[in-house]
Structure 1
Amino acid sequence: MDKKAFTKVIQEKFKIVRTEAGYTQDSMSQTVGLSKKTLVQIEKERIVPNWTTCVSICALFRDSDILTSTFGGDPLELAQVLSRGNAHYPQYNKEMLYWEKLEEKDGWRLEKNKMNDLYRVVNADNQAEHASYLERQAVTFFKQKTSE
């Protein structure tokens, strides 16, 4: 796959990714940084999104089932390889550098980012399931998951 084919696929999947995420055209255009008119043109397949828009879609909707199944894995990783020609994976645990464990119970972890005060709840598979800048929201979600 090359960049041209990649952008064509993003164009074809644009609307379904938006609806999968529960976004309106207005909220999607604001999130991605497009005018609503441009977004509509992309969704109607009248114009092809530029490379920057495609990469932002892959980054913002990285966990999209639609994108993951379409590309056979992480869409952002594919965009990185298409852009750079390769992907390099550091051999250290970045999570430990930035995330402080506040509480752990039944395989769930409540963590706080040391740099930006973002809170998240991580499951036993080390997948973040909830993130918020509001500590009480993260704590509430953590308590719901650990009391089930």
Structure 2
Amino acid sequence: MNREQLITLISEKLKLIRTEKAFTQDQMSDLLGLSKKTLVQIEKGRILAGWTTTVAVCTLCRDSTILQHELGGEPLEVVDLIANNGTLQPKDKTMGGYIWWKNIHEHGGFRLQQNIISLHFRILDDNNFRLISTFDEQVAKQAWEKLQM
């Protein structure tokens, strides 16, 4: 799949994705930063979504079963592959959390941290690569527990 094919696919499925997520046209256009008129034009097949809109749909609606079915799994992986010419980049490396982060737990080379400003959580490996990042404390703790098994 290439960029144009992904844009076409997202454009064709946008109304289904919006309906699946139970968004009104006003809500979806606001979420994507589009005018309602532009959203309607895309949904009616009169114009194609742009690359930025396509990436936003894949990012913000990544849990859509329609997207996952159409793309054969994780939408962001497809976007990443296309954006990086078919080569997946390694996990994001961080500075290790010496500024703005407090360690909640450390074990087995992994660290569960919380940002002292935004209050979001992340888990880093022993090389400071981010494994997960979330605002949901429960999700972070569940991921932490899985690493400890």
| TM-score for the superposition, normalised by structure 1 | 0.67
Which residue identity lines up with residue 117 of structure 1 in the other structure?
Answer: L
> Is there any run of 5+ residues in structure 2 with no aligned partner, and where?
106-112, 121-134, 144-149
Which residue identity lines up with residue 30 of structure 1 in the other structure?
Answer: D
Q: C-alpha displacement at 1:89, in angstroms?
A: 2.1
Partner of 2:80: 80
Cα distance change of structure 1 residues 16 and 112 upon mapping to structure 2, 3 Å threshold = farther
Cα distance change of structure 1 residues 100 and 39 upon mapping to structure 2, 3 Å threshold = farther
Q: Does the aligned pair in 2 maintain the 1:81–1:87 contact within 8 Å?
A: yes
How many angstroms apart in 1 are the aligned matches of 2:50 and 2:92? Answer: 32
Q: How does 1:91-102 map to 2 (within 5 A)?
A: none
| Alignment deviations for residues 38-79 of structure 1 (CA, whole Å, 9 cap, x no partner) | 000001111000111100111111111111111001111111
SS in 2 for 1:122: helix
Partner of 1:34: 34
Q: Does the aligned pair in 2 maintain the 1:25–1:39 contact within 8 Å?
A: yes
Cα distance change of structure 1 residues 45 and 91 upon mapping to structure 2, 3 Å threshold = closer
Q: How does 1:108-119 map to 2 (within 5 A)?
A: 113-118=115-120, 119=135
Cα distance change of structure 1 residues 17 and 125 upon mapping to structure 2, 3 Å threshold = farther
| TM-score for the superposition, normalised by structure 2 | 0.67
| Alignment deviations for residues 99-130 of structure 1 (CA, whole Å, 9 cap, x no partner) | 8659xxxxxxxx9554412441228863xxxx
Which residue identity lines up with residue 40 of structure 2 in the other structure?
Answer: V
Q: CA RMSD, aligned part only?
A: 2.8
Which residue identity lines up with residue 58 of structure 1 in the other structure?
Answer: C
Q: C-alpha displacement at 1:33, in angstroms?
A: 0.3
Percentage identity across paired residues of the two chains: 39
Q: How does 1:51-66 map to 2 (within 5 A)?
A: 51-66=51-66
**Structure (1/2) with the larger helix percentage:** 1
> Is there any run of 5+ residues in structure 1 with no aligned partner, and where?
103-110, 127-148
Partner of 2:132: none
Q: Does the aligned pair in 2 maintain the 1:68–1:74 contact within 8 Å?
A: yes
How many angstroms apart in 1 are the aligned matches of 2:115 and 2:12? Answer: 36
Task: Tell me how many residue pairs correspond in the alignment.
Answer: 117
The question of 1:11 aligning with 2:11 is answered yes
Q: Does the aligned pair in 2 maintain the 1:10–1:54 contact within 8 Å?
A: yes
Q: Does the aligned pair in 2 maintain the 1:100–1:114 contact within 8 Å?
A: no
